[in-house]
Amino acid sequence: TGLSIKKSDFHIPVNNKNHHTEEISTERLIVRRGQPFTVTVNFSAPIHNYLQQMKRTFLIAQTGRHPTAPDEIHTEFPISSLGDQKQWSAALEKQDLCFWTLTVNTPANAPIGHYTLFLCASQSSYFLGKFILLFNPWCQADEVFLPNEAQRQEYILNQDGVIYWGTENAVVAQPWDFSQFEEDIVDICSTLLCLGEHHQGEKDLTQRKSPVHVCRAVAATLNCNKLRRILTECEDEQYHNGTHPSKWLGSSPILRQWIASKYQPVRYGQCWVFAAVMCSVLRCLGIPTRVVTGFTWAHNTKSSLNVDEYYDEDGTLLTQDESPRVWTFHVWNECWMARADLLPEYSGWQALDATCQEKSKGKISEMGLSPSFCGPAPVHAIKEGDTEVDYDVCYFFAAVNAKCQVWIQKAGDTPKPAFGGTKYTGNNISTKSVGSEYCKDITHNYKYPEGSLKEKEVLDKAYRNLQKLETTTSSTTQFSSIPIALEEPVNLFIQLQSRCSLQLGQDIPLSIEMFNYSGGEKATHLVVGIQSLHYNGVPITQLWKEEFHFNLQSNE
């Protein structure tokens, strides 16, 4: 009889601990690329009896998109006394009569996924076992390498997080269980990646070596693949046939429900739920990821730097369907990676937004899909106004830099700009601090201080880039940096003060101060009202309104 293998030992507890995956599983080998792992092979008879066969011995690693096609990528590599850490290799570390202990090296740019390992001797191959290969933020040669250990603990290994929402002056902290290391989650993530690649039309499995590719495939499945997306939004705000987005407290119930229903969209999600699930999936796959919240976010701008809000004479916000709108807050993700496809300065944090956007055609969305996810976009490029950089920098730049002009729409008349009616977007951009629940302001990563000379330079550059884009696409968006002049000066100063955070049931104290600094008396009609809005800027109803008529003397 020929050589045979009695059993193989993947040393799962030790290997998984060394690869920071012991929390995912103690039963399956889960390793990170660019880092060696140990395998012991137990032969059925003393090896010296088969020296001729053993001279032609090598390993095979196979991976595929589906279990039915496990060998789409087939890699053969020899067993030697010295392994090569830059490519697939195996080194013989220890041997005795019936045992070989091997150190297997995977390259730092190997495609992630499920692998099968075989040992081949002469004309025969022997199944050794299966393992899962993930990205490795601990490996300096990996594109997702993160040099700071505290950040690796936070953005890969921490399963407890905080998501911020509310308003920029009254931020609410929502605890979230990312549960990225519950054992079945890694398999769900693999399925999700396959479906995302199919939706993107991507057939080259070697692309899984790229964190950019993986981020885009995951984002495509999360909310934009209408057939098999994980979550769906509720268009009419009626949640009776699903779960209200605010009721979700963790990612695993959503992912498990999606798998159990054979990929039926889970009802319902909003931006913070999409971002939280995205964070769970990417951390599970080994990409450092965090959840980010921005307040007063310009949505659906199609890269325009202008947003218009229309009010009637009583100050009631008028609904503008599908038009750009200022959201009270918006939540997205940042992923850490080197951008091998871009200049070195664009490596680092990348903005990724799984909430579907209406995007213009052309460079903004090379596949022409609308609506679609956005990113990953280098945060450095967003700050510098490099709006031509991939992917979707122009979208993020507009969302945090657009100016919102307020208009008064009188019945039967053309809209007129309101005095002091410009609102600024992209305020108090926040994320959870490393190692604590403190809310960290990272606005400075996205934009220069309002009114600074550097901000003006960046805005001017972005306007020029966007106007170039305008001439090369079919978009009808108009770009303008010229402030709108009022027909005549009003010469009234109005200040409204109110407490920004109140308990339910409390009265709302309002203080309104008006000052007439014109040279004459002014007959004044003051309308004060309160209107409720959804967080995405859609008005619900006017709750209260009161009118005042009085004369203000000069300098009164």
- CATH code of 105's domain: 2.60.40.10
Distance spanning both ends of the chain, measured CA to CA:
108
Domain annotation covers residue 432: yes
- Report the pLDDT value the prediction gives residue 405, as an integer from 0 to 100: 87
> Do residues 302 and 308 lie in contact, with contact meaning Cβ atoms separated by under 8 Å?
no
Residue 446 lies inside a defined structural domain of this protein? yes
**Do 277 and 170 reside in the same domain of the chain?**
yes
Higher pLDDT, 357 or 209: 209
Q: Are residues 334 and 462 in the same domain?
A: yes
Provide CB contacts within 8 A for 526, sequence distance 6+. Answer: 512, 514, 547, 548, 549, 550
Sign of CA dihedral 360, 363, 369, 374: negative
The whole model's pTM is what? Answer: 0.91
Mean pLDDT lowest among 71-80, 328-337, 476-485, 494-503: 476-485
Alpha-carbon gap, residue 363 to 387, rounded angstroms: 10
The reported pLDDT for the residue numbered 288 is 98
- Same domain for 332 and 246? yes
> Which of 351, 531, 326, 356 is closest to 445 using CA atoms?
351
Give the pLDDT of residue 233: 87
Which residues are CB-contacts of 203 (< 8 A; sequence separation ≥ 6)?
197
**Of 100, 134, 168, at which residue does a domain stop?**
134
The whole-number pLDDT of residue 434 equals 98
Whether 314 shows a pLDDT value over 90: the answer reads no
Looking at residue 538, its pLDDT comes to: 87
Tokens 């060696």 map to which residue? 36
98 lies in some domain: yes
- What CATH number does the domain containing 210 carry? 3.90.260.10
| Domain boundary pick from 419, 442, 471 | 471
pLDDT at 465 over 50: yes
DSSP 3-state of 47: helix
Secondary structure (3-state) at 150: helix
Give dist(CA 363, CA 365) in Å, integer: 5
Output the 3-class SS for 250-299. ECHHHHHHHHHCCCCCEECCCHHHHHHHHHHHHHHHCCCEEEEEEEEEEE
- Domain contains 27: yes
Domain presence at residue 480: no
Domain boundary among 71, 105, 134: 134
Residue 341: is its pLDDT beyond 90? Answer: yes
The number of domains in the chain is 3
In the numeric block, the tokens 């004369």 are attached to 551
271: annotated active-site residue = yes
> Which residues 6+ apart lie within 8 Å of 544 measured at CB?
529, 530
Whether residue 375 is predicted with pLDDT greater than 80 in this model: the reply is yes
DSSP string, 309-374: EEE-TT-PBPP-TTS-EEEEEEEEEEEEE--TTS-GGG-EEEEEEEEEE---SGGG-TT--SSEEE
Q: Is 330 a catalytic residue?
A: yes
- The reply to whether 240 belongs to the active site is no
pLDDT at res. 346: 98
Least-confidence region, from 137-141, 272-276, 469-473, 543-547: 469-473
Question: Contact, 288 vs 338, CB < 8 A?
Answer: no
| Residues 376-396 pLDDT 10s | 999 999 999 999 999 999 999
Mean pLDDT of the chain, nearest integer: 88
In this prediction, residues 116-136 reach a mean pLDDT of 93
Task: Reply yes or no on whether the pLDDT at 160 is more than 60.
Answer: yes
Of 6-10, 33-37, 83-87, 145-149, the range with the lowest mean pLDDT is 83-87
Listed residue (424, 382, 440) closest to 296, CA to CA:
424
Q: How much is the average pLDDT of 81-88?
A: 77
| Mean predicted confidence (pLDDT) in 351-366 | 64
SS3 459: helix
Highest mean pLDDT among 33-37, 42-46, 296-300: 33-37
At CB < 8 A and 24+ separation, what contacts does 464-471 make? 465/385, 465/386, 465/387, 465/388, 465/394, 466/303, 466/304, 466/305, 466/387, 466/394, 468/388, 469/303, 469/362, 469/363, 469/364, 469/387, 469/388, 469/394
DSSP, collapsed to helix, strand or coil, labels residue 112 as coil
User: Are 154 and 59 part of one and the same domain?
Assistant: no
pLDDT of residue 61: 96
Which pLDDT score is estimated for 212? 97
Q: Give me the mean pLDDT over the 519-541 stretch.
A: 90
Mean pLDDT of 322-349: 94
Q: What is the pLDDT of residue 89?
A: 94
Over residues 486-501, the mean pLDDT reads: 75
Indicate the pLDDT class of residue 183, thresholds 50, 70 and 90.
confident
Structure tokens at 273: 């739920």
Question: What value does the mean pLDDT take over residues 73-99?
Answer: 87
Per-residue confidence at 75, pLDDT binned at 50, 70, 90?
very high
The tens digit of pLDDT for each residue in 265-309 reads 999 999 999 999 999 999 999 999 999 999 999 988 877 888 888
What residue ranges in 23-178 does DSSP mark as E strands?
A: 29-32, 37-43, 57-63, 73-80, 89-95, 99-105, 113-121, 124-134, 160-167, 170-177
Tokens 């040279």: give the residue. 519
Shared domain for 416 and 354, answered yes or no, is yes
- Percentage of the chain beyond pLDDT 70 is 89
Q: Is residue 338 part of a domain?
A: yes
Give the separation between CA 291 and CA 333, rounded to whole angstroms.
5
Catalytic residue among 271, 284, 335, 394: 271
More confident of the two residues 40 and 52: 40
Range of the domain at 125: 5-134
Provide mean pLDDT across the span 62-87: 79
**Does residue 370 have a pLDDT over 70?**
no
Whether residues 129 and 158 fall in one domain: no
pLDDT of the residue at 190:
95
Q: Which pLDDT does position 49 carry in this prediction?
A: 77
Tell me the range of 179-188, 299-308, 361-370 where mean pLDDT is highest. 179-188
Annotated catalytic residue: which of 353, 386, 390, 392? 353
Same domain for 59 and 185, yes or no, is no
Q: Are 75 and 39 in contact (CB under 8 A)?
A: no
The pLDDT, as a whole number, for residue 324 is 82
The rounded distance, in Å, linking the Cα atoms of 423 and 278 is 30
Q: What is the mean pLDDT of residues 83-91?
A: 84
Three-state SS letters, 168-236: CCEEEEEEEECCCCCHHHHHHHHHHHHHHHHHHCCCCHHHHHCHHHHHHHHHHHHHHCCCCCCEECCCC
Q: Is residue 482 part of a domain?
A: no
- With a pLDDT cut of 90, the percent of the chain lying above it is 61
Say what the pLDDT of residue 482 is: 37
Q: What phi and psi values does residue 156 have, to the nearest 5 degrees?
A: -120, -50
Mean pLDDT of 163-189: 93
> 231-240, 280-289, 337-346, 393-402: lowest mean pLDDT where?
231-240
Mean pLDDT of 173-195: 95
One of 330, 356, 374, 390 is an active-site residue; which one?
A: 330
